[in-house]
Amino acid sequence: MTPDPLHIDSIQAANVVIGHGARQTIILDGQPVQLPSRDELRAYLAAVREAYQRWADQPDTPDPPLIHQSDDPEQGPDAYIDVAAKPLPMRVAEFRPQQPGGQEEPPAQELLTALAQVPRAVILGEPGSGKTTALERLAWSAATRSLALAEAPDHHLVIPIFVRLADYQGEADLIPLVRRALNRHGIFTVNDTSTRLLLWAKDVDFVLLLDGLNEFAQRFVADGPGAVKRTLEDYPRHTTYLTCRTADFDPAQMTPPRARLLVVQPLSDQIRYWDDPQGQSDVRAYLRRHLGEKRGKRLYQRLRADERMRDLARLPLFLWMIKEAGAEGELPPNRGRLIQAFLRSRRLLGRAPKPLRPLVERSLEELGWRLQQAGSLELEDAELEQALVQARGQRDLPLDALQEQLKATGLLIDLGDGRYRLLHQLIQEYAAAAYLVRQADCAQRLPGLAQEEWWRESGILALHLAPKLQTPEYLMGLMRDPQVDLRVRVAAGEILGEVGDPRFVPSTFTVIRQGKRRQVQAIEPEMVPVPGGQAVLGGPDPEADDDEQPQCTVAVAPFELARFPVTNAEYALFMQAGGYQDQELWPPAGRAWLRGEGQLDAETERAYRNLHRALRADTEGVIQQMRTLGSLTEEQADDLRRVATWAEDDFVQLYASQVLGEQRREPVWWQDRRFNQPG
């Protein structure tokens, strides 16, 4: 016997419970609304579990071991999506805006541990850090656990719903996206009203997984965050996790109420060398697993010699790219060239017939450019056809065949319903950059594009890809343009350091000292005039030195001050001119230091004894504090852990012997790119 339908006046007033039998009908404002049964919800959970089955071998404990990954190129890009990302651990830490003066870094936790008992969070990360795969893992985990408990009495089903915010089309809230996500896995709610009513069911808990706060189509950027906010306000009891690129996230404007902000942490690489038995390295474990001991070690040693590539290797997507593109030959010089080499590798464009590869690559670039111009991550059939017609030109190749070649490489994803996207947003941004640098007016167009956040990555990648953009004049123009995105300007500055900054061009000067003439190379610094006047010296500081008291007013004559501190380029000329050999240029204490005969003064000895006591009391706390105050390598951190166990006198003697007891011919970190950008 079919029960009488429940009559309600509003969704919020509904006292709905999902039944075990057939679908039930609710009469809302006189209109029938059907809800799925509990059995249908269980079938949905099984479909979600199957869709994300690649996470089945990922335990819920921290730091799972790496597992086998096939290196068969015939598996295509899914060998990364389905296998390579799965065994890499996902760790997150609390997001803290950078503050002047530094602060202690928050501890990292395994993803599921950090999210336990957290009903709402935003997961932030760099491109390629694994944000989307984090939500997929959460979907699989929630579905698997809920199915395991589904038969328990009074158990609330937990229903994960994975929503791509790139699909948002300007609706008032996210309910249409939720409905489509449910439909994909078998719950065919008839309309948005039935979806809203389902979300108000008393005995079902939902986990909303909202992927890509930075992926709203550009025409909907103004409306998307409001739709997210309204959805969370209307359904506050459901767990909600969102993802966003760190650089695109504005904490003040985009943080949902009561949400924790978590940042995906880079993969660990806390070893000093390949065979180091101490420390932890996810990077080493990955390379050892997939390349073997010999090839993995050879690639890791090349990574150690290139700090920028080593940093990229700590992001899962880039680690896979490095393994694919750099295992046998030289590492690409930058991430733009890395992505290019990766796309041309055997697993992607290399899967297309050799004569067609340039055309397939040109088609990829055309698609990336059109998507970026449209401000979207998706395009429809007609737009895809137009892009392929443009890329094909006069070549005699059916469009269907070209489209199939793109699909076969794994770079073009068919979403169904006549919609397509590229494999990853970063691939789209690269493809747009590659298209741009082929244009004759690339240099003129880039500054305007780079003013928009949407074009930030493409702008940076274009600078990496195009030698014609790597001229000092062009790079300095970008750096000086306040309208250009800051990260693009920073990238321009780094490239300028490599190609040579014209502001720091050496000139020849004649120096006369003690009646001897010699010519030296030096960079004449740009000076800034400072007008003279009255200045107040000293103050009431109780810790001030004797010569800093009492406070007094003095007259200061006009003078000039260099616009920049001494640069590496200037100091390099000092070294080349024999500055470390000519002891006449150094005061007596400096000469002793150069010879390795420096003496430890009482104040410095006291400071190092205090440091050692602090290390013994809280080793990790001191290390974290040092990291916030400046660059601290893992080698240095390991050294601090080691010396913390020493006797205090031995620690002080180590400083005296290593810092004061060595002859100096260059600054300590002169050869280390982590502390010494060129230029």
- Are residue 143 and residue 246 in the same domain, yes or no? yes
User: For residue 471, is it within any domain?
Assistant: yes
Largest Cα–Cα distance of the chain, in whole Å? 116
Q: 390 and 450 share a domain?
A: yes
582's CB contacts (< 8 A; 6+ apart) are none
Please tell me the distance from the alpha carbon of residue 391 to that of residue 372, in angstroms, as a whole number.
16
Residues 512 and 491 in one domain: no
What is the Cα–Cα distance from 113 to 62, expressed in whole angstroms?
8
- One domain, residues 236 and 182: yes
Number of domains the chain is built from: 4
- Per residue in 296-339, pLDDT (tens digit) is 999 999 998 887 888 899 999 999 999 988 877 788 999 999 99
Q: Which of 234, 264, 294 is the last residue of a domain?
A: 264
- What pLDDT is attached to residue 385? 95
529 with 466, same domain?
Answer: no
Q: For 149-183, how does the pLDDT look when each residue is reduced to its tens digit (9 = 90+)?
A: 877 666 788 999 999 999 999 999 999 999 999 99
Please tell me the least confidently modeled range out of 43-52, 96-105, 360-369.
96-105
**Separation between Cα atoms, residue 469 and residue 446, nearest integer Å:** 10
Do 622 and 516 share a structural domain?
A: no
- CATH number of the domain that 190 lies in? 3.40.50.300
Show the domain range for 170: 43-75+91-264
Question: pLDDT-derived band of residue 60, with 50, 70 and 90 as boundaries?
Answer: very low
In a domain, 276, yes or no: no
Domain match, 105 and 153 both: yes
Assess if residue 15 is contained within a domain: no
- Whether residue 341 lies inside any domain: the answer is no
The residue among 213, 231, 264 that closes a domain is 264
* pLDDT (average), residues 386-396: 92
Are residues 565 and 417 part of one domain?
no
Residue 515 and residue 486 share a domain: no
User: Residue 520: phi, psi to the nearest 5?
Assistant: -135, 155
Residue 217 lies in a domain: yes
> Pairing between strand 533-537 and 24-28?
unpaired
Confidence of residue 227 (pLDDT cuts 50, 70, 90): very high
Residues 6+ apart with CB under 8 A from 89: 62, 63, 64, 110, 267, 282
Query: Looking at the domain assignment, is residue 10 inside a domain?
Result: no
Q: Does pLDDT of 97 surpass 60?
A: yes
233 is a domain residue: yes
Does 178 lie in the same domain as 99? yes
Q: Is residue 670 part of a domain?
A: no
Is there a single domain that holds both residue 182 and residue 52?
Answer: yes
Q: Do residues 524 and 446 both lie within one domain?
A: no
